[in-house]
Amino acid sequence: MQTHWVQAQLQKHFPDRTFEVETMSTQGDKILDVALSKIGDKGLFTKELETGMLNQEIDLAVHSLKDLPTNLPEGLVLGVVTERENPADALVVHPKHQDKQLETLPAGAVIGTSSLRRLAQLRHHYPHLAFKDVRGNLNTRLAKLDAGEYDALILAAAGLQRLDMAARIHQLIPPEISLHAVGQGALGIECRAEDQEVLDLLKALEHLPTAQRCYAERAFLRDLEGGCQVPIGVNTEIVDDRLTLTGIVASIDGQQIVRGAVTGAATEAEQLGTLLANDLRAKGATKILAEIFAEIQRP
């Protein structure tokens, strides 16, 4: 859906050009019986696409920006960031819980999520709930929910909106409860660094405020040396050209959380990300992350 949206946008801006879609599967699409955090996230949803670009088989790749590593292979760049959908996490409930919110679900209710970030934050706020891994595409996850395997799911609101499933959103989870993933809700289009023709075409799709917010978030994640499967959450907003970045690092059990925020010129987005990363390191983030990596790597 995301790729075809990009194709349609490029076609609208450049009606005399042809934009063909080449469908490819990635490791993350194929391995569905192992928790994402146990597979490792270095190019989990991107490696095959990046190989195709470096081999001149394809010219660009459309990613959910939250899945794109902050350090790209030599020769590839993040060409453009498109306008962001709502980056919030969303609660989707089984029909029997239509009268409930996240905070009123009964003790022991089973919540499905494949994200350690969501897991850590929700465990911190709602230790009485039970959490269970869930994999597969959106339709598969929703089918498991409706079949009664889960009482509720936590999903990205943006994915539900893009697939015309916004009606399934029961509650948008506020940032006070769950900060979203780096880049969540935005699309990142990757291409070859020297392909100026493609880079020029992609400029038509850039949304500067989204790009500035996401560059700050990605710098924060990169400087903490975290990956998209680590419990690192963010929230960004721009008001009067001033960007505020809020971030957390949490232990998987939700018992330890360090949090901070910085504000500065939106034009200095990456510097703000680095500044916040340094602040959270000083508050204990390095120790928490070391413990998380050790736990993830444990057989």
- Which residues belong to the active site? 67
For the chain, the 3-state helix, strand and coil shares in percent, each to the nearest 5, are 40, 20, 40
Which residues, including other chains, have CB under 8 Å from residue 164's CB and lie 6 or more apart? none
* Cα(252)–Cα(99) distance, integer angstroms: 29
Paired strand residues for 93:
152
Number of H helices, E strands in the chain: 11, 11
User: Which of left, alpha, beta for 164 (phi over 0: left; psi -120 to 50: alpha)?
Assistant: left
Q: What is the dihedral of CA 117, 123, 125, 128, to 10 degrees?
A: 160
| Polymer length in residues for the chain | 299
